[in-house]
Chains A and B, each alone.
Chain A
């Protein structure tokens, strides 16, 4: 029995990255910029919006994180990370110049080829704005290749809104139809941020051509059902509603089993699934 396979690089061996800058996006989410330690080797590493990487700190462990940067801006890898567990607590202690391990990219990412020329609706909830930032930047950097760009973003409160200054600034842009909301408490931002759930923003989404529109959704697990219900009202086809999901992962390459849903692995067949997958497979949302 002979199988052809690459002995190098090992699938589970990280490459080393250096933290070059970081800033707080919200009280518990920090934005990290990383560059490869061996720049000449990994600088042009390609990836797709919606893909993820396994970040690790030796001695603490490894976990999957969505990429926040866009492949249109190569060289710097960006992640928005929430401090929520053992590993992320340690990542928050990192100083500029510190190293961490990175494996990937993994996952299918958004099907950019299918999205070219289409109108795009992006719906983000909470930390879902992190992976969708990659897609947003990609579309903004290739604006002429896409149709309308509608972006709805809901967060718990104004303090928990990721990239708030950027978004508030973009409200005036003609490139994007952007609407922001918080569950409650928009004091100080009455002009720019609404109050209410993200589903309330769909009242601004009008004149949708269902044949020419693709919707991309990412947010907390409880959000998908409600958002998809809203999107279905525009008669979008099932495979034109894309959901970026989260699961526990240990390998990123379909071997460790943790992210399995029915017969598919979130790390290989996802994390971007279509609404048809949701109907077809139990447990998805």
Chain B
């Protein structure tokens, strides 16, 4: 793989290179947190030292929270064929790129979801390895390093960035920016890289013991703690909205006020909602909150392995700061182990 150097003094010139390829999106402060927002000002492109955990993950670009798949009148329907612009999203942590790879695997297995793929092909990912905060646990889910799925990937090595090129588009970008990207890597690059990795590995403060949780999910399926969690759970579905690998959606028809024009909408759904498994005749296959929680954790920590060979939790920590009643992967794992 190609690797180059970007001096930190040239960091601000990055924007003008990237904007030639499409809309530039970067984490921007929103309240106490961050959100991927479209930026116009080169000053807004900041490569933070720590990993930035945005409110919504990159999936918001690939599977929009709510969009029309087709529109209809009483006479005919038309497919929504909107043109998707190229988007470049900057400062994406490694765990999120793993999540995108999981989404892509999911959306291209058995049937290919064109709505996803159309957007995936138009999304350019500029990854950035940062230092973990108190909630990150990607070292426990093997997602702290990423080999594929990005176009460029940045490592902060003091006064310069080490830049891995991961795709053809990534290569085009460094060629367009040949005045700032330098092919001559400093002699001490490997030493600094190892130091960075060591420092990163030392910085993790959240250490859930993920070993064997797959089997424990099976063995502890009838454990009492599920009912305790069920009693606490608010069924608000925030965990699924914030999770970078949650994909469930609902499809409904909406009529406009004139009752002539309507849209078939596809929007994020949550397995924590009561009507998630409701069928005709009011038969609910998962009527209790404990059952629905088990479904989510079975899917994240066990079932996904059966389907795709790896768990679908990437250790981003979003469930930890999102859940208002403290039900999240580390607390569930802790119960599984107790």
Contact = CB atoms under 8 A, between A and B. Distances in A.
B67 to A, nearest CB: 11
Contact of A256 (B249, B262, B280): B249
Given A10-B114, A12-B251, A256-B250, 7 more contacts: A3-B104, A63-B280, A82-B281, A250-B269, A255-B113, A258-B277, A282-B221
A247 B250 contact: no
A70 B259 CA distance: 37
Interface stretch (B19-27, B196-204, B296-304): B296-304
A63 B304 CA distance: 26
A102 to B, nearest CB: 13
Interface of B: 69-70, 72, 74, 77, 79, 104, 106-115, 117, 120-121, 148-149, 167, 221, 247-253, 255, 259, 262, 264, 266, 269, 271, 276-281, 283, 285-286, 291, 295, 298-299, 302-307
B269 A257 contact: yes
Given A11-B111, A257-B269, A250 B117 contact: no
A2 B110 CA distance: 17
SS of A interface (majority): loop
A60 B253 contact: yes
A82 B285 CA distance: 19
A61 interface: yes
20 contacts: A5-B108, A5-B114, A5-B117, A7-B114, A10-B69, A14-B77, A60-B253, A61-B251, A250-B250, A253-B111, A254-B109, A256-B269, A257-B248, A257-B269, A258-B269, A263-B303, A263-B304, A263-B305, A263-B307, A283-B285
Interface residues of A, number: 43
B110 A254 contact: yes
Interface in A123-146: none
Report the 5 A-B pairs with minimum CB-CB distance, sorted nearest first. Answer: A263-B303, A257-B248, A263-B306, A253-B111, A5-B112
A165 interface: no
A59 B167 CA distance: 43
SS of B interface (majority): mixed
B157 to A, nearest CB: 27
Contact of B276 (A56, A248, A253): A248
A1 B271 CA distance: 30
A1 B298 contact: no
Contact of A6 (B107, B109, B112): B112
A258 B248 contact: yes
A58 interface: yes
B250 A59 contact: no
Contacts of B262: 58-59
A5 B276 CA distance: 30
A56 B252 CA distance: 10
Contacts of A5: 108, 112, 114, 117
B112 A3 contact: yes
Given A58-B264, A246-B279, A263-B303, A1 B104 contact: yes
A14 B78 CA distance: 11
A176 interface: no
B108 A3 contact: yes
**Counting chain A CB atoms within 10 Å of each CB, which of B117, B221, B259, B281 scores highest?**
B281
Contacts of A57: 253
Contact of B279 (A11, A248, A253, A263): A248
A244 interface: no
**Counting chain B CB atoms within 10 Å of each CB, which of A85, A246, A258 scores highest?**
A258
**Counting chain B CB atoms within 10 Å of each CB, which of A10, A82, A253 scores highest?**
A10
A88 B280 contact: yes
Contacts of A1: 104, 120-121, 148-149, 167
Contact of B253 (A61, A221, A260, A283): A61
B123 to A, nearest CB: 10
A60 B254 CA distance: 8
B74 to A, nearest CB: 8
B304 to A, nearest CB: 7
